[in-house]
Amino acid sequence: MPLKPDDRLLNRFRITSVLGQGAFGCTYLAFDQRLRRPVAIKELLSQHLADQTARERFVNEARVMGQLAHPNIVTVYDLIEPDPTQRLDAYYIIMEYLDGGSLEHAIREGMTIERAITVAVAVCAALARAHQNGIIHRDIKPANVLLSKDGNLIKLGDFGIAHLPDVHQTVGGHPGTLVYMSPEQTRSGAQVRLDGRSDLYSTGAMLYEMLTGRLYLDFSSYVRKASLAFYRAKGLPPGVDLSPFLKLELEMAIQQAVSCAVREVPPEDPRQHNPDVPAPLAELVLKALSKDPAGRFADAEEMIAALKGVKARKLAQTTTPGRLSPGQHVDDLIARSQAAAQRGELSAALELLAKARELAPDNPRVHRELGLLQVKRGDYRTAAEHWKEVIALDRSYARAYLELARCYNQLELYARAIEVQEEALRAGLAQSDPTFYDCLSMAYWMANRPEEAIWALEKAIQLEESPKRHALLRQWRRRSGGTSRARSKEDAR
């Protein structure tokens, strides 16, 4: 079971709060009562305990980080494995806690060029240590770089998918985070062995973002184009609900489009987005982002020397254009969540929306996005709570009533679905939406109210002819032995 605040692990670590959750693990802030210090505890999620690959990845992360003792790599204190004698049925990594959050947050706040170089040097120093030991990280991104609040500590973490020297491992299946991958890392199925230059490409992508406040390519545009092309090829209107099989097809099409951009589209000069970036630093970033590994730095030490050479020059003290107003920050988190969801990264999308909710708990748009995302995840009960919140915040938003009713139908709470939609009818909402009446008709039918079900389906047909609706109407009439009674919208009152 997941740990909760005030829980004790091994009667030593008192859980304080949840720091975050990813696809495989949940990380907690805890207090080590023996050594009197805060620690971070990462737990392998229970749904992955039966997955041997997930277990090996989790244990691999602890062992790799434990072996690579370095000032710029997060320190691992212990690995706890299931032990019936201790009543432990999960895996935990006990780690150093850094109180300044991740680089991802720092980028959103904005940073000086000098600070960006300092962070890049620290990451390269950590990579130099890993590469010397034959370890390729493969998931360099801002979320995996942790900082102390005073700015003195910069540490690389999450070696969960690192390539070990004693394991025969080739590229395939997109390990890592696509928008930070090197071109060679995106070649799914290709028999290409990665070397340290792949991590340096990802570091260049991260440095570009630190300097400009944006990704080195406009990935959202490739996601949009791939989505539109997919719907067009299938003869479907954009945004229409897809079957699970078509959703998988769409996700694959988006991955292919983004991968192709990584391999083929050159980045713009970072000075186009931040004119304060000095020319030597812009050249350094573009060299790190060379599509051909031979065009990049030969190793992390060479990149460190180049970065220090730039840092020795006089640099502008302006903050990079990453600082956003609260409203812009929420909009940015929602946009990034939508892009992550379109790539099929639902856990990442949920993390981003959780941050948006922390910033704007009463923003109906945030709850709308959470409702839509939870439906994609199949969690209709949680989705319903978000749609109820949307209605409470904006009673005129017609779609919220429809989406809430759909959730209730999925949960087989048909009386509640009817109640919600009849409330919308009384308010004069959704009168011209055939899908609203489709949903209402199904709720009536499943609630054993056939006359009203037929009436609602007839209303949907009046608004939009459909062979499927006519076929269903004939079926319902045969089964109910009659037609609908006359009904106006006042009947819903």
Q: Which of 139, 158, 199, 438 is catalytic?
A: 139
H-run or E-run covering 13: strand 13-21
Joined tokens for residue 436: 């609203």
Cβ within 8 Å of residue 44, ≥6 positions away: 24, 25, 54, 55, 58, 90, 91, 92
H-run or E-run covering 282: helix 279-288
- Rounded to 5 degrees, φ, ψ at 443 are -65, -45
H-run or E-run covering 206: helix 196-212
Report the C-alpha gap between 200 and 182 in whole angstroms.
9
3-state secondary structure of 240: coil
Active site residue 6: no
Report the C-alpha gap between 148 and 146 in whole angstroms.
7
CA geometry: angle at 346 spanning 261 and 200, to 5°? 40
DSSP 344-397: T-HHHHHHHHHHHHHH-TT-HHHHHHHHHHHHHTT-HHHHHHHHHHHHHH-TT-
Report the C-alpha gap between 382 and 376 in whole angstroms.
11
Report the C-alpha gap between 400 and 63 in whole angstroms.
48
Question: Quick one: the chain helix, strand, coil %, rounded to 5?
Answer: 55, 10, 35
What is the CB neighbour count within 10 angstroms for residue 6? Answer: 8
Which residue do the tokens 């062992």 mark? 63
Q: Checking DSSP bridges between strand 8-9 and strand 13-21, what pairing results, if any? A: antiparallel
What is the CB neighbour count within 10 angstroms for residue 490? Answer: 8
Q: Checking DSSP bridges between strand 8-9 and strand 25-32, what pairing results, if any? A: unpaired
Report the C-alpha gap between 134 and 111 in whole angstroms.
32
Which residue do the tokens 């995840």 mark? 377
Q: 320 with 113: CB under 8 angstroms?
A: yes
Question: Which of the residues are catalytic?
Answer: 139
